[in-house]
């Protein structure tokens, strides 16, 4: 386990999507977060106390979490300098970037000299199997998206909590750096060699016989040219019984690709069902989850209503308005009687 409490890193970042890992920890493990660290040019905040690295170390922070998710997952000079400062102050450093902390000579040497640890979250397990597509017992729900960073992790966690509140056994299965940091385990699927993506998810969500559900955190989008391969492997390996589509209606285009418009929600529903049907022909879509964080409440509720009506599915912002509508459809679709 990565030692808490955490100092959450915002650095110089400007785009809220780039700090989604720090934001996820601030929401779902707030009790472990002591402060946020940001430079003066960063307009973002997690509504935590702002501290310098020295102040956070004096306040008891044990680990600086580089909770950023910029495209490419690279360690730049600013990140290296800030991580080195945290090491000098006696803190561990954790990150889920594609560029490993341990492979950066300056940080590796500084950590060894200071007696602190570097935690690279984006390390897939060794000896992953190749997917086989065999039917396995248990029920699985996978979140999918019209784009990257549309709220799939938030939605999956909200659905897990809502199912448990109905008396249904439910487990969150993390597939990205943020989810792994929150849950404490998982498989960073975008760091898995392509041949093993489906097998990694089969391993992450094995057969279960207790009548419960595995809720698998989705990644990427079938409609994003950069990351559709990861999404495809997840759909096949998850062998989902149910899908929930996540969508951010405030975006003008796909993240990082201004030359690609957002795809139509209905088209995304149809395509995800088609791809998932390879390993589970009985897969069904049970709801739409909107990320309305940039939209006022009245407009958000209107969008949920109209999007649901247009697609014949319950639609909500699970983090903002609750997940009951989607859970009701899920339980009804699988003839499950909720516990009052």
Is residue 126, in this structure, part of any structural domain at all? no
pLDDT digits (tens, 9 = 90+) for 217-251: 999 999 999 999 999 999 999 999 999 999 999 99
Average of pLDDT values for 48-64? 97
Comparing 105-109, 155-159, 332-336, the range with the smallest average pLDDT is 332-336
CATH code of residue 214? 3.40.50.300
pLDDT above 60: residue 32 = yes
83 and 221: one domain? no
Q: Which SS3 state, helix, strand or coil, does residue 116 take?
A: coil
pLDDT band for position 73 (cuts 50, 70, 90): low
CATH code of residue 103? 3.40.50.720
pLDDT above 60: residue 72 = no
Give me the pLDDT at residue 340, please. Answer: 46
Give me the pLDDT at residue 68, please. Answer: 87
How many helices (DSSP H) and strands (DSSP E) are in the chain? 12, 11
DSSP for 175-194, please give it: -SHHHHHHHS----GGGS-G
Is residue 299, in this structure, part of any structural domain at all? yes
pLDDT digits (tens, 9 = 90+) for 254-268: 998 999 999 999 999
pLDDT digits (tens, 9 = 90+) for 306-326: 999 999 999 999 999 999 999
99 and 162: one domain? no
Alpha helices in the chain (DSSP H): 20-28, 53-59, 77-88, 105-114, 152-165, 177-183, 197-204, 228-238, 265-276, 297-311, 318-321, 324-333
33 and 149: one domain? no
| C-alpha torsion angle, residues 176, 179, 180, 186 (rounded to 10) | -70
Both tokens of 308, joined, read 């649901």
Give me the pLDDT at residue 338, please. Answer: 56
* Cα distance between residue 129 and residue 196, in whole Å: 6
- 94 Cβ contact partners less than 8 Å away, ≥ 6 residues apart: 2, 6, 63, 64, 65, 66, 118, 119, 121, 181
Angle at 82 between CA 80 and CA 84, to 5 degrees: 65
């Amino acid at each position: 386990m990565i030692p808490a409490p955490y100092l959450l890193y915002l650095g110089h970042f400007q785009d809220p999507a780039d700090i989604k890992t720090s934001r996820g920890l601030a929401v779902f493990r707030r009790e472990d977060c002591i402060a946020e660290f940001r430079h003066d040019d960063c307009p973002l905040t997690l509504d935590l106390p702002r501290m310098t690295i020295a102040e956070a170390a004096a306040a008891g922070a044990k680990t600086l979490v580089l909770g950023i998710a910029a495209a490419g997952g690279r360690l730049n000079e600013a990140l290296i300098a800030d991580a080195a400062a945290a090491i000098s102050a006696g803190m561990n450093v954790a990150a889920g970037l594609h560029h490993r902390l341990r492979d950066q000579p300056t940080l590796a040497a500084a950590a060894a000299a200071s007696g602190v640890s570097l935690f690279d979250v984006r390390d897939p397990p060794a000896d992953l199997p190749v997917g086989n597509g065999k039917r396995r017992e248990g029920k699985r729900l996978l979140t999918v998206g019209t784009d990257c960073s549309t709220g799939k992790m938030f939605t999956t966690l909200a659905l897990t909590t809502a199912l448990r509140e109905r008396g249904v056994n439910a487990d969150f299965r993390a597939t990205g750096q943020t989810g792994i940091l929150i849950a404490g385990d998982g498989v960073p699927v975008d760091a898995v060699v392509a041949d093993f993506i489906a097998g990694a998810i089969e391993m992450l969500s094995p057969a279960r016989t207790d009548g419960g559900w595995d809720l698998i955190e989705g990644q990427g989008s079938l409609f994003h040219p950069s990351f559709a391969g990861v999404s495809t492997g997840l759909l096949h390996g998850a062998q989902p019984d149910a899908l929930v589509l996540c969508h951010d209606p405030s975006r003008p285009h796909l993240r990082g690709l201004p030359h690609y418009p957002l795809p139509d929600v209905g088209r995304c529903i149809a395509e995800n069902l088609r791809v998932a049907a390879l390993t589970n022909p009985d897969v069904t879509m049970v709801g739409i989850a909107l990320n309305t964080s940039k939209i006022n409440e009245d407009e958000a509720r209107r969008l949920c209503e109209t999007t649901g009506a247009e697609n014949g599915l319950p639609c909500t912002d699970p983090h903002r308005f609750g997940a009951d509508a989607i859970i009701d459809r899920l339980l009804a679709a699988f003839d499950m009687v909720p516990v009052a």
